[in-house]
Amino acid sequence: MMKKLRHLSLILLLLPSLPFSALAEEGASAAPSFVYYTMQPEITTNYITSGAKVGFINVKVQLMLEDPTLEATVAYHQGLLRDALINIISKEPETNIKSMAGREALREKCLTQLNALLEAETKQIIIKDLLFTKYLYQ
Predicted TM-score (pTM) of the model is 0.75
- Could you give the angle at which helices 100-122 and 78-90 cross, rounded to 10 degrees? 150
Average pLDDT score over residue span 132-136 = 95
In single-letter form, the type of residue at position 106 comes to L
Q: Which residues pair with 129 in a beta bridge?
A: 64
CA–CA separation, 21 and 111 (whole Å): 39
Give the single-character DSSP code of 91. Answer: T
CB atoms within 10 A of CB 70: 18
CA–CA separation, 70 and 35 (whole Å): 9
In this predicted structure, the answer to whether residue 60 has a pLDDT above a threshold of 90 is yes
Q: How confident is the model at residue 33 (pLDDT cuts 50, 70, 90)?
A: confident
